[in-house]
């Protein structure tokens, strides 16, 4: 083998050795990229995707929250409308019943006026009794209390009977001689208060209460009246008693007494 051939073989061997080394270096770099760079890239993509998912979740949560708030507002508005409707309905029914009372009171006054002009028979004729019963029945459905101020003291009652009892018990507690002028008549033949359980024509009181003062005196008070009539009667009666400061309290009736 000549020196020239030997040099050629050496150069070829060096070429292959260098090529191999370079290839191994490239392969090593590729392996390093795949082993290190790819996981980093994968982690970056995954984090970006997770961020997008979290953002979508938060956005959907906010939408759900807004929807729930809207539903709550609608429910609250519906509740308010229902309450307003109930109040409106009750006020309408109350106004209707009170107008009925006014009409029935007017009818009763006309009937009593006719009876009084024609003869002196009992005020509680069958017709007027029916009107009275109808008035009392309507008043039972109303929650209006009766109230009056006597010498600055408010006296109240949910029914005519309770109201009258409280009024007379107050008069007794204040040592007020309410029976000084004797029985008190509200019409031609009916008493409001009497020492006997009888009206002027001898008929029994329909719904009396018995009042006893500190001296043992007994008085019967007729309570079979509509609230409107009862209120007018007691105001007129109390105004006859000296030393009393009577102030009507009209909260219980929307119409004029």
Q: Where are the domains of the chain?
A: 1-91, 145-252
Tell me what the mean pLDDT of segment 63-83 comes to: 87
- For 205-233, the pLDDT digits (tens) are 988 999 988 888 899 999 988 788 889 99
- For 108-148, the pLDDT digits (tens) are 566 555 554 444 444 445 565 666 666 666 655 555 678 99
CB count in 10 Å sphere of residue 179: 18
The pLDDT value recorded for residue 133 is 64
**Alpha-carbon gap, residue 48 to 29, rounded angstroms:** 27
**Alpha-carbon gap, residue 52 to 31, rounded angstroms:** 31
């Amino acid at each position: 083998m000549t020196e020239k051939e030997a040099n050629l073989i050496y150069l070829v061997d060096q070429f292959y050795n260098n090529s191999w080394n370079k290839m191994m270096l490239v392969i090593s770099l590729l392996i390093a990229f795949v082993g290190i760079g790819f996981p980093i890239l994968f982690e970056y993509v995954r984090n970006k995707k997770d961020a997008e998912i979290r953002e979508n979740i938060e956005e959907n949560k906010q939408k759900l929250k807004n929807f729930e708030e809207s539903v709550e507002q609608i429910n609250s508005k519906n509740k308010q409308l229902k309450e307003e409707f109930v109040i409106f309905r009750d006020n309408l029914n109350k106004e209707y019943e009170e107008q009925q009372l006014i009409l029935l009171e007017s009818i009763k006054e006309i009937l009593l006026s006719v009876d009084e002009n024609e003869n002196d028979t009992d005020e509680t004729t069958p017709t007027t009794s029916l009107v009275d019963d109808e008035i009392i029945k309507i008043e039972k459905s109303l929650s209006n209390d009766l109230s009056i101020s006597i010498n600055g003291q408010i006296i109240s009652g949910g029914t005519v009977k309770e109201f009258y009892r409280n009024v007379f018990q107050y008069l007794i507690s204040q040592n007020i001689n309410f029976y000084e002028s004797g029985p008190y008549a509200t019409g031609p033949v009916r008493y409001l208060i009497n020492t006997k359980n009888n009206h002027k024509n001898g008929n029994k009181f329909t719904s009396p209460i018995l009042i006893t003062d500190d001296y043992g005196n007994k008085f019967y008070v007729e309570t079979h009246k509509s609230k409107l009539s009862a209120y007018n009667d007691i105001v007129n009666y109390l105004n006859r008693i000296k030393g009393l400061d009577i102030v009507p309290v009209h909260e219980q009736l929307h119409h004029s007494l």
